[in-house]
Amino acid sequence: MVQFGCVNWSAGVLATAAPVCEPTGAMQPSMFNPAGAPAETILSITWLLVVICGAIAIVMFALIAYAAIRCRQTKGNDREPAQVYGSNPIELAWTVIPLLIVFLLFMVSARGIFDLQRSTPPDGALEVTVTGHRWWWEFDYGDLGVVTAGELHVPIDDGKPADLFLTLHSADVNHSFWVPQLGGKMDVIPNHTNYLWLQSNRTGTFVGQCAEYCGNQHANMLITVIVEPRADFEAWVANQQRDAVESDAVKAGHDIFLSTACINCHTVRGTVANGTFAPDLTHIMSRTTIGSGVVRNTPDMLREWVWDPQNIKPGCDMPSMKLTRDEVDLVCAYLETLK
């Protein structure tokens, strides 16, 4: 993150992290660059709104400008103007015409609602269960046996758009799942199941983030969706399905990890670490970001994160484990083998 000159009132909380932070991706989550049918439908309805409301605005501004320019009082002419109390035909016109416009808009948009809002998956869609946590996303691929965090991998076949059907749950408070280029948003509500259909017609990385205020780190609850060719996806799945690889070279870090409170919240499959409060770390190095997208997953950032996550994501649930710098290096050397 680039720092601009400003008074630092927060006792350097973010400042320590700032020099090592980097951009997390080049994509911009603009609704004007849709990548699939839901977002394209939304954009086409938007253009209809632009045309209709733009025309209304032009008419109204012209009338106001006419009144403001041509109907001013001039000096020496203080006779009162003709008093016009109303006109039934004119008033009827500007009651009925807006009603017709509203009717037209209603019909077009109602069709959009029924097209886009689905509670059953389209044929061939990838189905993923999303759980919103404060402040990260858990993605469960169901039968594929893959559980990951922050980054959603989606396969696409040549010449066919990739459908993605999400089942949305929350573990704590309200969140909202929003990747603007792939479709609309849907709230993620505890005790309530929602569904969301997204689609991409091309490979690429699409970003979004939580859209419902969920507390302290709402701003850093980011989403990355990676749409990749099916072969790449299958390789990714095969890798994710493996348990963590044990290696004697990083035994020291492995032992520190397993003997501290890390394992209460994190899972590393194949070890005793089976916590579920925080992201699964079995394949953490396969992810491009950490902290739900707050920073890139580089060796330096990983060390900063394990040293004290509160410097990077102040208020997040992970505390500093009070390890020494040497211990952090050992733990990170171990984490870096979790590919």
Partner 1 sequence: MSTLQQPAGPPALTGPVPFLSKLHQWVATTDHKRLGVMYVTCGIVYLIIAGLEATMMRWQLAWPGQTVLTPDEFNRLFTMHGTTMVFFVGMPILFGTANFLIPLMIGARDLAFPRLNAFGFWLFLFGSILLYFSYFGGQGLYGMGSAPDVGWFAYAPLTERTFSRGHSTDYWILGIFVASIGSTLTAINLIATILGMRCRGMTLMKMPLLVWMMLVDCLLVVVALPPLAAAQIMLIFDRLLGAHFFDTQAGGSAILWQNLFWFFGHPEVYILILPAFAFVSEIIPVFSRKVIFGYPLMVAASVAIGFISVGVWAHHMFAVGMSPMINAIFMGSTMLVGVPTGIKMFNWVATMIGGKIRFDTPMLFSTGFLCQFLLAGLSGIWLATVPFDWAVSDSYFVVGHFHYVLFGGLLFAIMAAIYFWFPKVTGRMMNETLGKWQFWILIIGFNLTFGPMHVSGMLGMPRRIYTYHEDRGWELWNLLSSIGVAFQLVAFSLFAMNLLHSCFKGRRAGDDPWDAWTLEWSTTSPPPDYNFAEEPVVHSRRPLWDLKHPEDPDWKYE
150 alpha carbon, distance to own chain's centre: 9
Give the nearest distance from C-beta 15 to partner 1 in angstroms.
Answer: 6
* Binding to partner 1, residues 235-254 (CB under 8 A): none
Of 247, 196, 244, 204, nearest to 228 (Cα)?
204
* Binding to partner 1, residues 200-219 (CB under 8 A): 207-219
Q: Does 39 bind partner 1 (CB under 8 A)?
A: yes
Candidate residues 36, 132, 155, 183; the one interacting with partner 1 per rule CB under 8 A: 183
Q: Does 194 bind partner 1 (CB under 8 A)?
A: yes
Residue 300: helix, strand or coil by DSSP? helix
Locate 224 and state its tokens: 């990355």
* Binding to partner 1, residues 124-143 (CB under 8 A): 134
Using CB under 8 A, which of the segments 168-176, 242-250, 301-309, 321-329 binds partner 1?
A: 168-176
Q: Does 25 bind partner 1 (CB under 8 A)?
A: yes
* Binding to partner 1, residues 309-338 (CB under 8 A): 314-315
Q: Does 57 bind partner 1 (CB under 8 A)?
A: yes
Q: Does 304 bind partner 1 (CB under 8 A)?
A: no
In order of 116, 169, 185, 238, the CA distances from 110 in angstroms are 10, 26, 17, 42
Count of residues in contact with partner 1, rule CB under 8 A: 103
Report yes or no: 178 and 223 within 8 Å, Cβ to Cβ: yes
In order of 29, 92, 94, 99, 314, the CA distances from 88 in angstroms are 49, 6, 10, 17, 63
Name, in order, each residue with C-beta under 8 angstroms of 292's C-beta and a sequence gap of 6 or more: 135, 136, 137, 149, 150, 220, 221, 222, 279
Report yes or no: 278 and 317 within 8 Å, Cβ to Cβ: yes
Instruction: Identify the DSSP state of 266.
Output: -
Give the nearest distance from C-beta 103 to partner 1 in angstroms.
Answer: 9
Using CB under 8 A, which of the segments 43-51, 144-152, 247-255, 274-282 binds partner 1?
A: 43-51
Q: Does 277 bind partner 1 (CB under 8 A)?
A: no
Q: Does 58 bind partner 1 (CB under 8 A)?
A: no
* Binding to partner 1, residues 72-91 (CB under 8 A): 72-74, 77, 80-87, 90-91
Q: What angle do CA 20, 279, 249 make, to 5 degrees?
A: 70
Using CB under 8 A, which of the segments 186-194, 239-247, 265-273, 321-329 binds partner 1?
A: 186-194
Report yes or no: 19 and 295 within 8 Å, Cβ to Cβ: no
Residue 114 half-sphere exposure toward CB, CA atoms < 13 A = 5
Please, what is the angle between helix 299-307 and helix 325-335, to 10°?
Answer: 130
Candidate residues 132, 150, 155, 180; the one interacting with partner 1 per rule CB under 8 A: 180
Candidate residues 20, 41, 127, 298; the one interacting with partner 1 per rule CB under 8 A: 41
Q: Does 154 bind partner 1 (CB under 8 A)?
A: no
Using CB under 8 A, which of the segments 102-110, 124-132, 246-254, 321-329 binds partner 1?
A: 102-110
